[in-house]
Amino acid sequence: MSQLKTAFLFPGQGSQVPGMGREFAESIASARAVFEEADRALGFPLSKLCFEGPAEKLQLTANTQPAILTVSVAAARVLEENGVRADFVAGHSLGEYSALVAAGAMPLAETVRLVRKRGQYMQEAVPVGFGAMAALLGLRPDAVEEICREAAEGEVVSPANLNSPGQVVIAGHKPAVARAVELAKQRGAKRAILLNVSAPFHCALMQPAADRLAQDLDAVEIRDPRVPVVNNVDAKAVRTAATLREGLKRQVTAPVQWEKSVRTLLSEGCGRFIEVGPGKVLTGMLRQIDRNVECLNVEDSSSLIETLNKLLKNTQLSC
Convert the pLDDT of each residue in 31-73 to its tens digit.
999 999 999 999 999 999 999 999 999 989 999 999 999 999 9
Look up 202 and say whether it is catalytic: yes
| pLDDT tens sequence across 231-255 | 999 999 999 999 999 999 999 999 9
Look up 92 and say whether it is catalytic: no
Predicted confidence band of residue 312 (pLDDT cuts 50, 70, 90): confident
| pLDDT tens sequence across 97-133 | 999 999 999 999 999 999 999 999 999 999 988 999 9
- CB-based burial of residue 312 (10 Å sphere; 0-12 exposed, 13-18 middle, 19+ buried)? exposed
Give the strand order in the sheet containing 131-137. Answer: 157-164, 167-173, 131-137, 191-194
Which residue in 248, 304, 251, 244 sits closest to 276, CA to CA?
A: 304
Which residue in 175, 181, 92 sits closest to 134, CA to CA?
A: 181
Residue 319: its pLDDT value, please?
44
Q: Does 2 score more than 60 pLDDT?
A: no
Residue 128: its pLDDT value, please?
87
Residue 309: its pLDDT value, please?
95
Mean pLDDT over 177-189 rounds to 97
Q: Strand, coil or helix: what is 84?
A: coil
Q: Does 1 score more than 80 pLDDT?
A: no
Catalytic residue among 15, 72, 93, 261: 93
Q: 181-188 — which CB contacts under 8 Å span 24+ positions?
A: 181/134, 181/136, 183/147, 183/150, 183/151, 184/136, 184/139, 184/144, 184/147, 187/139, 187/143, 187/147, 188/138, 188/139
Catalytic residue among 72, 164, 202, 261: 202
Q: Does 197 score more than 90 pLDDT?
A: no
Residue 53 and residue 161: Cα distance in Å, rounded?
A: 27
Residue 3: its pLDDT value, please?
74
Name all domains of the chain by residue range, CATH numbers in brackets: 5-124+205-318 (3.40.366.10), 131-197 (3.30.70.250)
Which conformational region is residue 65 in: left (phi greater than 0), alpha (psi within -120 to 50 degrees), or beta? alpha
